[in-house]
Amino acid sequence: MPVVALPVISRLYSPEDYGVLAAYSAILGFIGVVANLRFDEAVPLPSDRAIALSVLVAGLASTLLVTALSAVTLLPYADRVANWAGAPQLEGLMWLVPLGVLIIGVYGVLSRWTIRLNQFGLLSRTKVAQGIGSAVTQVGLGMARAGAVGLILGTVVGQGVGSSWLARAGFERADLARSRAGGVRAIWKAALRYKKFPLVSTWGALLNAVSTALPPLLISSLHGSQVAGWFGMTVRIAGAPTALVGGAVAMVYFGRGATIASSSPEQFMALFKSATKKMALAGLVVFLPLGAAAPWLLPLVLGQRWGPAGLYTAVLTPMYYAAFVSSTLGFTLAIAERQGLFVLREVVRSALMASFYLLARFLALSPLATVCLLSVTGCLGYGVYYLVSRHAVRQFSDAHGKCQRHSTE
């Protein structure tokens, strides 16, 4: 729905408005990845439903803590953060960041519970509700000439609709009773069992945000909010297949992978290879036409002032193709409980992102050259993403295969 509404939205908002949205999304993305201290990734893993419920409650409690910390940290320094992000208009809207953190954290935990129950239809309906809520809000506020605040509020409303839907539909009364009966001791015990997620995965997630959430901020600081707005439109268009199809497949992969890892671990590699092959073929069907048509199609559909976004989309297509294939498999390390590898992978990708920024600044690259450099750097980063995931699956399958052979002997 947000993509379908783009021809209208792009005429109601300017590239500068999208630049402010890109800055907001980057700040929110950096904090949002640790909104529930990564307990969301542990929810599908326990074989016992009561333990999974305790992990879920631990994730919700962590979300409240991180939301409070983000408010205390950001709001007193809203002007400095907004200026650093290259979007001074964001100063008065900084209160929306903690609200977004709260919504993202709750949705993350509840969506993983839905995956655990294999209720993918419910999860799909929440995505539809999010898209409609976001598009309707942005169009309505755009017609009222709300400016960047309309884009940001539309994003918040869409996220909130999804969280409230899951909260109403994702639980049975028995689950709620069981969560109360378990008490604080059961929650603490479950949190200790999966302590690697908050203690180790959190750092990897923050590093992941460096390579995924920071490019809009870096481009804004290098070239201003208008270029950041063109880049933000590119992210919305070229990133849509990954967010929609890739995100949906990733959820199913997570659910099936968690089940296979506990019941038939020797089949984990077969699942990984099958998912990789199918996503690589599907990505070619999507991204080859997108990259070829974007330079002339986007100005026609969105308006002439968005012409540079079409060129940026063509240049960034290889990076988004790599993201489409690799990030779908991103839950592999969570399934294998290889948090150390997760951190190592993100250290390498963060170093690549730092090199991109330093080179672009040192060489004083033009906006287009900066985007070209980002595309090359991003492809290398997602290559590392895939190779580390494959290595983790191979080690996981080999280790469990040896255990099974020893038990048979």
Residue 176, pLDDT > 60, answer no
Between 223 and 177, the more confident residue is 223
Instruction: Give, in order, the Cα–Cα distances in Å from 233 to each of 6, 229, 282, 312.
Output: 9, 6, 23, 9
Domain finish residue from 193, 215, 242: 193
Residue 267 structural domain: 195-409
State whether 237 and 324 are in the same domain.
yes
Mean of pLDDT values over 19-26? 86
State whether 341 and 402 are in the same domain.
yes
Mean of pLDDT values over 77-86? 84
Percent above pLDDT 90 for the chain? 27
Residue 13 CA to residue 151 CA, distance in Å, equals 8
Residue 272, pLDDT > 70, answer yes
State whether 284 and 391 are in the same domain.
yes
State whether 142 and 221 are in the same domain.
no
Residue 335 CA to residue 23 CA, distance in Å, equals 32
Domain finish residue from 132, 162, 193: 193
Domain finish residue from 161, 178, 193: 193
CA 370 to the chain's CA centroid: 23
State whether 140 and 121 are in the same domain.
yes
State whether 205 and 186 are in the same domain.
no
Instruction: Give, in order, the Cα–Cα distances in Å from 177 to each of 1, 40, 54, 379.
Output: 37, 21, 12, 47
Cβ distance 242 to 323 under 8 Å?
yes
Residue 168 CA to residue 166 CA, distance in Å, equals 5
State whether 114 and 220 are in the same domain.
no
With CA atoms as reference, report the closest residue to 239 among 29, 80, 56: 29
State whether 327 and 232 are in the same domain.
yes
**Mean pLDDT over each residue of the chain, to the nearest integer:** 85
Residue 313 CA to residue 308 CA, distance in Å, equals 9
State whether 29 and 127 are in the same domain.
yes
Residue 371, pLDDT > 90, answer yes
Per the structure, how many domains does the chain have?
2
Query: What pLDDT, on the 0 to 100 scale, is given for residue 173?
Result: 47
State whether 161 and 231 are in the same domain.
no
Residue 215 CA to residue 220 CA, distance in Å, equals 8
